[in-house]
Structure 1
Amino acid sequence: MTDSTLEARIDRLESLDAIRQLPAKYALALDMRDMDAMVSLFPADVRVGKDASGRQALRAYMDRTLRSPFTGTSHHIGGHVIEFDDADHAHGVVYSKNEHETPVEGGADEWVIMQMMYVDDYVRQDGRWYFARRLPLYWYATDLNKPPVGANKMRWPGTDWAEGTFHKLFPSYAEFWAREGDHGGPVPEPAPLEKFLETMRRGAAAPRIKVRAD
């Protein structure tokens, strides 16, 4: 093993650790409503919607969003898959189980639980890793005492029930339920290194979503 290879491997390990910290830091900053800490996890030129950019614009957007409909939140980070495009760019998927105290007009507050995943892009600038982009995909949201059985699992108080996007990025889910049993074909070779997510997506485009601040 050459020195350059060893240095590259150490850099990869350090980068993995830094990227794994990002979702945990995001969850803590979001739940503690520390908007300055939260936007520091994104690059200075982060895009905010179609017409704005920059950390200040992101902070203003998140500040508005987190005042309604949530009183308090708690985000629990799950499995995290990370793959590198090159030394300074990576992408990944991380699970998140969230709880929200949600005021209801004219009634008692409700406790809404949500299961989702984030599809992330990461970038390293000036030696520091940031979120380049976060795409939230939702499976369900419902009152703690009302399990979301059936269709349209996104069930926020005071809103029409809607379908989530949790499975939309990966064709395998719809294909599994569209057939009656094992497809009978050969088992493919394992995905190439850094291509696990790409192989699972099989060219599927990101779904169109209505983003919530989670």
Structure 2
Amino acid sequence: MSIEERLDRLESLDEIRQLAAKYSVTLDMRDLDMHVNLFVPDVRVGKEGAGRQALKEWADATFRDQFTGTSHHIGNHIIDFDSNDSAIGLVYSKNEHETETEWVIMQMLYWDSYSRVDGRWLFKKRLPMYWYATDLNKPPLGDQKMRWPGQENYEGYFHDLFPSWKEFWSSEYIRDNDVAKPVEANSFLKALRRDSKPGKLRVK
């Protein structure tokens, strides 16, 4: 890569990491116009919707009906580039939600796709994968760790994109295998995920 390409890559990394932080603060402060403008103009919304206006309407209903206050704390962020204008990412998020009856804490990650449109990095898609959601005073031990007030408990599919989780706990797992070779640059996330597909997710 040339010096110019390396500088562009560094600037792109920073802009994409800022994008995840901007997503959190615009969500928490309920600035829906700024929030939806972080996505590509033709963003998919549900099975049939598309566009920022559709996303704004969905976000308004979701953020207004399910909880009052929220706080999203961004953690680990890994980014691989498919091209100069396309990338994928994995972002950890630890969240707090105020509901009418409980203070719900959540641990999750986002599997992201990013595109550079007219010189700006934007979200193309965000796939949420949840480990748990539970009242602050109720540790989510056991199965079905997604525990929202007034709903039946359910699975959040936090590990489903990553085959290593099931392999590690399998009775067929071989502990003394030789260490595999490191993956190539910009292949870390694809190697981690392999060809896995997510389960049927319930978006919160």
TM-score interval w.r.t. the shorter chain?
A: over 0.9
Output aligned runs, 1:2-81, within 5 Å.
5-81=2-78
Output aligned runs, 1:1-214, within 5 Å.
5-103=2-100, 109-179=101-171, 182-212=174-204
Letter aligned with residue 149 of structure 2 = P
SS in 2 for 1:67: helix
Letter aligned with residue 20 of structure 1 = R
Q: CA deviation at 1:204?
A: 0.8
How far, CA to CA, are the matches of 2:67 and 2:20 in structure 1?
A: 20
How far, CA to CA, are the matches of 1:98 and 1:73 in structure 2?
A: 7
Q: CA deviation at 1:179?
A: 3.1
- Check conservation: 2:156, 2:202, Cα contact below 8 A: no
How far, CA to CA, are the matches of 1:200 and 1:137 in structure 2?
A: 15
Q: Number of paired residues?
A: 204
**TM-score, with normalisation over the residues of structure 1?**
0.92
How far, CA to CA, are the matches of 1:87 and 1:31 in structure 2?
A: 31
Letter aligned with residue 45 of structure 2 = V
SS in 2 for 1:147: coil
How far, CA to CA, are the matches of 1:180 and 1:157 in structure 2?
A: 39
Q: CA deviation at 1:133?
A: 0.2
Identity %: 59
> Which deviates more, 133-142 or 49-58?
49-58
- Root-mean-square deviation (CA, aligned residues, Å) is 1.2
Which residues of structure 1 form unaligned runs of 5+?
Answer: 104-108
- Check conservation: 2:167, 2:173, Cα contact below 8 A: no
Q: CA deviation at 1:206?
A: 2.7
SS in 2 for 1:23: helix
Letter aligned with residue 97 of structure 2 = H
Q: CA deviation at 1:181?
A: 6.7
Q: CA deviation at 1:182?
A: 4.8
**TM-score, with normalisation over the residues of structure 2?**
0.97
Which residues of structure 2 form unaligned runs of 5+?
Answer: none
